[in-house]
Amino acid sequence: MDRSLWQASYPKGVPKDVEIPQESVHGMLRRSVAKYPSTPALIFALTPKVSKTWTYRALWKDIVAFSRNLAARGFRKGDRLALYLPNCPQYVIAYYGALRCGLTVVQISPLYVGDDLVFPIKDSGAKGIVTIDLLSHNLEEVWSRVKDRRLTVIVGRFTEVAPYIVGKFFLEGALRKKGLDPSLPTAYDFLPFPEMLHPASPIKPVTIEPEDDVAVFQYTGGTTGRPKAAMLTHRNLVANALQLRSWDVQSREGDERVLAVIPFFHVYGMTVALNYPLFFGGTLIVNPEKPSPDTVLPLIDRFQPTQFPAVPALYNAINNDPRAKNINLKSIRACLSGSAPLTVEITKKFEQLTGGRLIEGYGLSEASPVTHANPLVGNRKIGAIGLPVPSTDMKIVSLEDPAKELGVEDTGELVVRGPQVMKGYWNQPGETAMVLKDGWLYTGDIARVDKDGFVFIVDRKKDIVLVGGFNVYPREVEEVLYEHPDVLEAAAIGIPDANLGEVVKAFVVPKPGTKPQEADIIHFVRSRIAHFKAPRTVEFVDSLPKTLVGKVLRRELKKSAEPPTRKA
């Protein structure tokens, strides 16, 4: 498609292309250190009243020390270092310290245990792993399966990065009350994180080739379901941060406060809540707990962030929390929502609460991740994922013949190209060839483009429900479900049907104090969209299964909807 289609809808001040310097990820941070040495870079907020601050100068000092100590322990350019951490200062220091040493960071979810934890360690060939006391026992449980890697293990503690006034015993007591174990592991030898911050001999500067050198292994699912590591280069990550910066024409460099509660291990959190703010002198407000209104609302009230990147589930939870009306949310200027579809109802209500702008964006691990976003100023279309960000191309191709490009308002697979697109999958040439063709990334998402260049995701190819030969897109059903006054959250899936092949089943979380009926929900949907698209059954649940970043796990819903297997 011709870029002029969507560039004509760009707000004033947004460039058609971004200039990408030959710079590393840590080199971009170093620029901020030189420009804003005394500006707070990181506020670690254990609670709204208990926090500790690092200036850019202090943060860089720790990063340099960490990288020197890695080199002193035999780490060399190209080695892999796994990060098995929640959002905390140790993550930020280890992430940039590893990159400064020329290493590749391997992202591991702090929710992983057992096989899920073993796989990325072994698949990536990690030489070391950094974790925290609360997670270190998960590593103990699988140690016999990973110790053959001769892993260097570095273990941090929250007590190391807490303010002095909190005190070690106070914090440990609070953690134990939550059922968390702050004791240190005994099954393996490890390096205490503070030792990695001791003075060490300077290292010879590592030469980074931004276009070739891989900064991050970002694990993601795919056509086979087996996790694959998307290889994101330094240029990929620098480019995406610059694309985001060019998109936010009202951003005040050196004066933004970003509430960083979406997890850094996730590609969305890494780029939008870590790299992008720190590349431009922003202040990160970091909390290690799973984001919820209980943790987030007091942080907003105390620290008054200007940017709050999150996911629809969290915005929706805040919308429906009665405490939100009594908290000052007006500092929030811009919110980029990602990782799951953002409904019209969630958007409208959150903007009424805050006065800020909540926009839906789109991306995927293989693209660092952002490829599209709605404008932060001027015209936007709620329900769309927006326009391609600067220096990004796109096209819609036929589902039956991917070589055939479609036109405006046609529905097909979204395909993108740009400097943020990955190098490929680690040790997976076959899988790489399936999604990367002549520089184009085949996203697996079904979409259409309107006359103004705005893109609307119809659904995932794999999530289409085929009802009597007709395609039903779960997102379309969910949009209607969210309009029902008694629905807090909703998800739709396909279940087998003897006559039609598949029919739609809805899972609904009712709003507190309401008791919606199945027949009422079905009638509500049927009154708004075609009958064959409406759910045949509705199951009311207390919550929807989600990833740590807030994406609904449809596969778990499908499992729960399967009839039990009868024993012979």
CB 114 within 8 A of CB 141: yes
Q: Round to whole Å and give the CA distance between 366 and 363.
A: 8
- Show the DSSP H helices in 360-472 as ranges: 429-435
CB 158 within 8 A of CB 50: no
Label each residue of 289-325 as H, E or C.
CCCCHHHHHHHHHHHCCCECCECHHHHHHHHCCHHHH
Per residue in 372-382, pLDDT tens? 999 999 999 98
Whose tokens are 């579809």? That residue is 341
Residue 112 confidence (pLDDT): 87
Query: What amino acid is encoded at 198 in this protein?
Result: H
Q: Round to whole Å and give the CA distance between 269 and 286.
A: 11
| 437 three-class SS | strand
Q: Which residues contact 193 (CB under 8 A, 6 or more apart)?
A: 90, 130, 154, 155, 156, 157, 160
The superfamily in CATH containing domain 464-561 is ANL, C-terminal domain (3.30.300.30)
- Hey, where are the domains in the chain? 25-33+50-207, 464-561
9 band by pLDDT with thresholds 50, 70 and 90: very high
The dihedral of CA 116, 118, 124, 130: what is its sign?
positive
- Closest C-alpha among 265, 296, 267, 303 to residue 94: 265
Tokens of 96: 């940039």
Residues 95-119 have a mean pLDDT of 94
Lowest mean pLDDT segment, chosen from 255-269, 431-445, 446-460, 461-475: 461-475
47 band by pLDDT with thresholds 50, 70 and 90: confident
Q: What is the pTM of this model?
A: 0.85
Q: Which residues contact 523 (CB under 8 A, 6 or more apart)?
A: none
Residues 233-239 have a mean pLDDT of 98
CB 490 within 8 A of CB 546: no
Q: Which residues of 193-216 are buried (b: 16+ CB within 10 A; e: fewer)?
A: beebbeebeebeebebebeebbbb
Neighbours of 174 (CB within 10 A): 16
Q: Round to whole Å and give the CA distance between 495 and 509.
A: 19
CB 283 within 8 A of CB 55: no
Residues 99-125 have a mean pLDDT of 94
Report the CATH fold assignment for 25-33+50-207.
Rossmann fold (3.40.50)
Per residue in 17-44, pLDDT tens? 999 999 999 999 999 999 999 999 999 9
Angle between helices 114-124 and 133-141 (to 10 degrees): 90
- Fold match flag (25-33+50-207 vs 464-561): no
Residue 425 confidence (pLDDT): 97
Burial class from Cβ neighbours inside 10 Å (0-12, 13-18, 19+) for residue 407 reads exposed
Residue 177 confidence (pLDDT): 77
405 band by pLDDT with thresholds 50, 70 and 90: very high
Residue 568 confidence (pLDDT): 37
Residue 502 confidence (pLDDT): 85
168 band by pLDDT with thresholds 50, 70 and 90: low
